[in-house]
Amino acid sequence: MTTSASTTGASTTAPVANARNLALAHYAARGVLEHVLARHGSTFQQQVALRAAITADAPLTPDDLVTRVQDSLKADPADIRATVDALLAKQLLVTDGEHLRPTDAGRELLAAVGDETAPVSARIWGGIPDEDLAATGRVLALVTERANAELAALSA
Q: Give the pLDDT confidence of 104-148 residue by residue, as tens digits.
A: 999 999 999 999 999 999 999 999 999 999 999 999 999 999 999
pLDDT at 14: 76
Q: How much is the pLDDT for 13?
A: 79
pLDDT of residue 153: 96
pTM: 0.86
Percent of the chain surpassing pLDDT 90: 88
Which class for 13: exposed (0-12), middle (13-18), buried (19 or more C-beta within 10 A)? exposed
**Confidence (pLDDT) at 11:** 57
Q: Which domains does the chain have, with CATH numbers?
A: 18-125 (1.10.10.10)
- The Cα–Cα gap between 130 and 50 comes to 30
